[in-house]
Structure 1
Amino acid sequence: MRDLCILRLSALGDVCNLVPSVRALQTAQPELKITWIIGRAEYSLLEGLEGVDFLVYDKKTGLAGMAALRKKLLAQRNGQPFDVLLHMQAALRASLLSRFIPARRRIGFDAERAKDFQNWFVHEQLAANPRQHVGEGFLDFVRHLGVQPGPLQWGIPLPQTAVDEARRWQPEDQAYLVLSPCSSNRARNWRNWSNQGYAALVDYAYENYGLQTLLTGGPTELEQETAKTIAELAKAPVINATGQTSLKALLCLIRDARLVVAPDSGPIHMAVAMQTPPLGLYATSNPDRTGPWLGREFVANRYPEAVKHFLDRDVNQVGWGQRVRDPAALDLITQEDVQQRLDAIMNSKEKLA
């Protein structure tokens, strides 16, 4: 195998979880040429990743963009196909895009994980490996190629411009936590805790550990209003950088923070990549599947209770990716839950092992 192509467009947390698979392949075969077809925002997070050639696909361009990407690939490769395509996104749009990528071998997920008829678009499927973390699912592609992964490695590059940008937001001579209170806004996919709960945590962290809170997030109206409300409700001082940092600068802020607080969203996985303790808040999704790959002991986890209360089943009786589609599930996470997880982090090592 001389070269391969990875197809994974989104999302931020998923591409963070995929990087150790890239590192495992590079360790096993240093001369391997890797091309990664990726989304625009995700590329801005991973840009500069050593040994990887990125091609950005904008989903807004539809089939025309897919055709243009194929034309570019064929021109770059003198019409030659990749030895292997790792189709690592089980979604219909990605599967359609996969047919525009020339490759001799096309590898996708096993039957249980191959959503949206992904099996129609590949030649080979992974061996079944149920009830695994998303990151382990990506490593299954590495194992399928005959490589046994070693210790997890990320090494996402941080340019000096991002370091300088982050410094403008960091409190001087004071430890801080990063709070990213909002997940992506998807239909009937509630993940966000209450503003009052977040504000109380801001005050608890400041009063008990001297931690200042740095609020982060995107530029959407929901994220802006959420951050503003938390800052107004909190008595402790807050730095509000919501919608005002690049993703690379956010990685720097996360790297230097004492911990990250967030629901099931990208910053939790970015924290793991930076070896920063992740205080995740989970009630509507299973943290054993989509929670932080490392540091899962720091998660405030009410998913089993939510499954029992809203689905009337035990957690081992539902599908591995089962969501709880009720916003009231987040109310199961108590202030005491989150404070206890914060205490556990503050009594642990500063960086994940």
Structure 2
Amino acid sequence: MLRLSALGDLCNLVPTIRALQRQWPDVRITWIIGKAEHSLLAGLSGVEFVVYDKASGLAGMRRLWRQLGDTRFDVLLHMQQALRASVLSLGLKADVRVGFDKARAKDAQHWFTHRQLAPHPQAHVLESFMDFARLLGVEDQGLAWDLPVPAEAEEEARRLTGDHPYLLMSPCANPRLRNFRNWSAEGYAAVIEHAWAQFGLKTALTGGGSTQEREVGERIRALSRAEAVIDVIGESSLKGLLALIGRARVVIAPDSGPVHMANAMGTPVIGLYATTNPDRAAPYLWREHVVDRYPEAVRTYLHKEPDEITWGQRVRHPDAMSLVRVDDVVQRLDALLTGPNESKETETPDEA
């Protein structure tokens, strides 16, 4: 199977692997994956990883082709809708190449495959991946992840946060051009104050070590009580972040990798959505707890009704996330902290 990125999408893909393994316990699965993404999923049971460093370009592709030169796959599941991945697929030997249907394929991916998925309009990302298992005849499509978290990652999490209960905030999404997924520092600080005053919960701030993430973290800390915040931005590995998420009472974040990592770990999560459609990209098992301001953003900034735009179209406006209100987040946090939060890993995409 070929899927290089991104972190959240890879978490949504894992249930498809588990479904394939349940159907065929002896199946050999090779996953061609990006370098950073591999550091998150390394050790996934029953999977052999082949790592491609996206920064290595065509030279890296040639090295990978030589590495797999003697390998012929029965089926290549081409799960990356990107030209780079399609070019990479050309050097792989496979009897059958399966990709997305024309409506979902991007960058003319359907030109690089023999068979395409059946159409599935308005599918969630997780359901789109599970469509590959359906095409192969998999019957049991129950959801399971079982992401490996090594002991050293658990120790890393304990070292960073101590033993005090906490909720986890990952305030920044990927800083891609015109992404506009981040909420305000003032909003996060208000939720931090509520969690501390009402529940005695500290808040662990997480993220990478980029200048933007550190600056956002500093603004949030400046607006918050010092005793209520544990700042670990730039301090954790990806496995350590998984452990931090697994130990958290709740995760709060915009549409980004950590909401899907929390979903995979069975940790309650409040996703903050206005610029992306949560029906397509929300944390799958916790969709009812999403703060969904996407329809309002479409009407306000695209001047259309949600059913008048293409599925998954983004609202690329810097003010869209201002539609998320503190009360929205606080209400969902209160519901999660005072109500039952049972694991939902036995659901199937059709039942959820």
TM over 0.5: yes
TM-score (norm: length of structure 2): 0.96
8 Å contact kept, 1:258–1:350? no
Q: Which amino acid aligns with 1:51?
A: G
Distance in structure 1 (CA, Å) of the matches to 2:305 and 2:88: 38
Q: 1:100 aligns with which of 91, 96, 99?
A: 91
Q: Unaligned regions of 5+ residues in structure 1, if any? A: 1-5
Deviation by residue 1:194-234 (Cα, 9 ceiling, x = unmatched): 00111111001111111110010001000111111111111
Is 1:342 matched up with 2:333? yes
Q: Which amino acid aligns with 1:270?
A: M
Deviation by residue 1:171-214 (Cα, 9 ceiling, x = unmatched): 32x32101000000111121000001111110011111111100
Query: Identity, % of aligned pairs?
Result: 55
Secondary structure of the corresponding residue to residue 188 of structure 1: coil
Q: 2:166 aligns with which of 170, 176, 189?
A: 176
Q: Which amino acid aligns with 1:36?
A: W
Secondary structure of the corresponding residue to residue 181 of structure 1: coil
8 Å contact kept, 1:143–1:149? no
2:294 corresponds in structure 1 to: 303
Secondary structure of the corresponding residue to residue 349 of structure 1: coil
2:350 corresponds in structure 1 to: none
Is 1:68 matched up with 2:59? no
Q: 2:16 aligns with which of 8, 14, 21?
A: 21
Deviation by residue 1:156-181 (Cα, 9 ceiling, x = unmatched): 11111111111102232x32101000
Q: Which amino acid aligns with 2:222?
A: E
Q: 1:264 aligns with which of 250, 255, 263?
A: 255
Q: Which amino acid aligns with 2:311?
A: W
Deviation by residue 1:219-257 (Cα, 9 ceiling, x = unmatched): 100011111111111125210000110111111111111
TM-score (norm: length of structure 1): 0.95
Q: Unaligned regions of 5+ residues in structure 2, if any? A: 345-352
Secondary structure of the corresponding residue to residue 7 of structure 1: coil
1:158 corresponds in structure 2 to: 149
Is 1:187 matched up with 2:177? yes
Deviation by residue 1:259-280 (Cα, 9 ceiling, x = unmatched): 1000000000000111011111
Distance in structure 2 (CA, Å) of the matches to 1:351 and 1:322: 32
Q: Which amino acid aligns with 1:99?
A: L
Distance in structure 1 (CA, Å) of the matches to 2:339 and 2:237: 29
Give the stretch that moved more between structures: 291-300 or 227-236. Answer: 227-236
Q: Which amino acid aligns with 1:108?
A: G
1:332 corresponds in structure 2 to: 323
8 Å contact kept, 2:97–2:114? yes
Q: CA deviation at 1:41?
A: 1.2
Q: CA deviation at 1:347?
A: 2.5
8 Å contact kept, 2:201–2:228? no
Distance in structure 1 (CA, Å) of the matches to 2:340 and 2:30: 36
Is 1:220 matched up with 2:210? yes
Distance in structure 2 (CA, Å) of the matches to 1:120 and 1:247: 35
Q: 2:223 aligns with which of 219, 233, 245?
A: 233
8 Å contact kept, 2:167–2:203? yes
8 Å contact kept, 1:272–1:352? no
8 Å contact kept, 1:295–1:352? no
Moved over 2 A (4+): 347-353
Q: 2:25 aligns with which of 30, 50, 59?
A: 30
1:198 and 1:286, CA in 2 relative to 1: closer, same or farther beyond 3 A?
Answer: same
Q: Which amino acid aligns with 1:259?
A: V
8 Å contact kept, 2:269–2:289? yes
Secondary structure of the corresponding residue to residue 55 of structure 1: strand
8 Å contact kept, 1:139–1:149? no
Q: CA deviation at 1:352?
A: 3.3
